[in-house]
Amino acid sequence: MIRVVAVDLDGTLLRSDGTVSARTSAALRRADRAGARVVICTARPPREVHEIAGTAGITGVAVCSNGAITYDLASGEITIVGPLPLEVAEQVAAVLAPALDGVGFAVETGHRALIAPGFDHVSSRSIVRVPVASLAALWAEAESCVKLLAWSAAPVTDALMARLQALVPGVTVTYSGGRGMLEISAASVSKADTLARLCEGWGVDAAQVIAFGDMPNDVPVLRWAGIGVAVANAHPQALAGADRVTAGNDEDGVALVLEELFPADGGVVPAR
């Protein structure tokens, strides 16, 4: 039986305009009524997740910042489970700077984002951004780090990702769709690892989990879950790593699968 529904946000649950459709919200509520936990698994920080979860009617726990944080949606408690030491982030930035033309850096602390000059990424939602005067000030003013963000005008390609990961093997370099945006986390941190620890605490096996995603940072959780589902608009790596493919994010792909697993009559389809 499916006991946990793990769902990515951007490009998966959210439509291209950043909203959650009424059909998808209803499907999530149907899963909840059937006794399944709905767990958001996203690269976004907690402050952005709270608004989206409320709109979609999702409660419980969210896995944020690519697995570095767990966030209690009811209490607002933020728990950093996978910090990236600031000295490591600084070392990584020093290696990446000459490899990416015009790169700018930011540090996500879990509570705010510190933005150094040259970091020109624009989020689709309002976030707590604190500009700092220089790259040196970025390391001096950050109270913690859960993720180093790097932005450049260069397109993010699989070849670029492989080259950069080889330059900094002690961390995980990934991306989740933001144009020109790279995300660097501690090597042991992923959505899958954090979700697996949560499920262990709940007494849930991987076979009882269905996961939805669309980007390379979703691949580990798609492979770990008993059923990994990629939306039709997903990156080729996500499509290859999934057990099945559903319709795209603008065609209620997540809802289509949940309606199949959690019928309107209250029955539950066993996981295969």
Residue 272 identity (one-letter amino acid): R
- Give residue 272's pLDDT band: very low, low, confident or very high (50, 70, 90): very low
Token readout for 51 is 């608004």
What CATH code would you report for 4-81+190-261? Answer: 3.40.50.1000
* Dist. CA 61–CA 143, nearest whole Å: 24
- pLDDT tens for 206-241 read 999 999 999 999 999 999 999 999 999 999 999 999
- Cβ proximity of 173 and 182 under 8 Å: yes
Cα of 232 vs its chain's centroid, Å: 18
DSSP β-ladder status, 147-151 and 181-186: antiparallel
> pLDDT, tens digit, for every residue of 114-124?
999 999 876 65
Domain span(s) for CATH 3.30.1240.10 in the chain: 86-186
Q: Which fold has domain 86-186?
A: 3.30.1240
